[in-house]
Structure 1
Amino acid sequence: MAEKPKEYKRLNRAVGVAEALTGALDPALKRRGFASRDIITYWAAMAPAPYDKVAVPDKLVWPRGERSAEGATLHLRCASSHALGLAHEGAKVAAAVNRYFGYVLVGQVRLSAEPFRPHSAKAADTEPKLTSAAEAKVSDAIDGIEDEGLKEALRVLGRGIMAKSKPSGR
């Protein structure tokens, strides 16, 4: 007999994104060795400076067999400029993580082969694309202004307005 699909309980109230997505990341995190989101969520609070800003947890690898008292190996993605320092101060980072959790979670810290990308999202294209007629209209509007700083600011403003306005079919 086929299993019934899981029925979701209605909360009958407004919820935040974090609460609504609770559990959505758990399967992916479990594949990376994390039992919960805590080490990733609170990394900035538990990691010593400067590694709270230049490194992020990648995966947690437990020794084969049962989880031992020595703890797991924490693999970190790190900015290349701080990789040597992190390699030497791995014990300091492991101690900070263990102090945060209150037990031996991390036995050693290793660098991950994956690259560190602090801003992985592609930057938005800031230069609006205009037709030649719109460019000419902006240039004509600011033609009589003598102050170069003001002229450039108005050019940027005019280009932004023309890029957002819908072309009229007149």
Structure 2
Amino acid sequence: MRARPGAKPLADLVGKAMTPACRKRGFASVDILAAWPDIVGERYGERVQPDRIIWPRRTGEDGEMTADPATLVVHTDGATALMLSHETRQLIERINTFYGWAAIGRIKITQKPVEVRRKPKPRALRSLTGEEEARLESQLETVANDRLREALKKLGAQVIARSGDDKV
């Protein structure tokens, strides 16, 4: 009997499905899009989005393709575009570090609205029952430091509320 292959991570399947669409926009793979917030940092992660990469179509003297750097087109709002224009050198360095070679030589900034991804609000935790509260208090009564005891009490209450049982 043949063994079934194990479960595959969703990221692997999505990456394979997205790669053809990314290639139409000049991206070799979905990797730079997935890592974009890490590459550009917290300041620009949500306010600047990569649109496409324009690769030059030049041939060398012998007819072979040359490895000239490409132009990355990003879009952002007007205020962020001004700030970003002063930091393009650093951004190019970060992107090229990600690729491992001098893939990007220029960044073209276009001003248009950016979809801001809203982080989902954390759901409200339930209140502890009297029994859960008493059990947590009894487990923390040996902690001498008041601040530490209060911090552990808050942590314990959240763990109990999320887990749904009273075992700590």
> Quick check: TM above 0.5?
yes
CA RMSD of aligned residues (A): 2.6
Taking a change above 3 Å as real, the CA distance of residues 119 and 48 of structure 1, as seen in their structure-2 partners, is closer
- Residue by residue, what CA displacement relative to the aligned partner does 1:48-101 show, whole Å, maximum 9, x if unpaired? 451223212110001123564441100112233311111222222111111222
**Which of residues 87, 109, 112 in structure 1 aligns to 2:110?**
112
Distance 1:64 1:11 in 2: 45
Query: Quick check: 1:51 aligned with 2:47?
Result: no
Task: Pick one of 5, 17, 25 that aligns with 2:18.
Answer: 25
**Mapping 1:57-76, distance limit 5 Å:** 57-66=50-59, 68-76=66-74
Indicate conservation of the 8 Å contact 1:75/1:110, yes or no. yes
Which amino acid in 2 is paired with 1:80? G
- Which deviates more from structure 2 when the two are superposed, residues 58-67 or residues 22-31? 58-67
Deviation at 1:113, TM superposition (A): 5.0
CA distance in structure 2 between the aligned counterparts of 1:15 and 1:43, rounded to whole angstroms: 24
* Structure 2: distance between partners of 1:83 and 1:93: 13
Does 28-37 or 17-26 show the bigger shift?
A: 17-26
Match of 2:90 in 1: 92
The 3-state SS of whatever aligns with 1:77 is strand
CA distance in 1, matches of 2:53, 2:43: 21
Question: Which string of whole-angstrom CA distances, capped at 9 and with x for unpartnered residues, describes residues 19-67 of structure 1?
Answer: 2334211111001001111211111222245122321211000112356
Does the Cα contact within 8 Å between 2:76 and 2:111 map onto a contact in 1?
no
2:79 aligned to which of 61, 70, 81: 81
Provide the C-alpha distance between the structure 1 equivalents of 2:82 and 2:16, rounded to a whole number of angstroms: 35
What TM-score does the superposition give when structure 1 sets the normalisation length? 0.56
Any unmatched runs of 5+ in structure 1? 1-9, 124-170
Identify the range of structure 1 (27-36 vs 89-98) with the bigger mean alpha-carbon deviation. 89-98
| 8 Å CA contact 1:58, 1:112 repeated in 2 | no
- Identity, in percent, stands at 29
TM-score by length of 2: 0.57
For 1:81-139, what per-residue CA distance to the aligned partner results, in whole angstroms no more than 9, with x for missing partners?
3111112222221111112222101101111355311238xx9xxxxxxxxxxxxxxxx
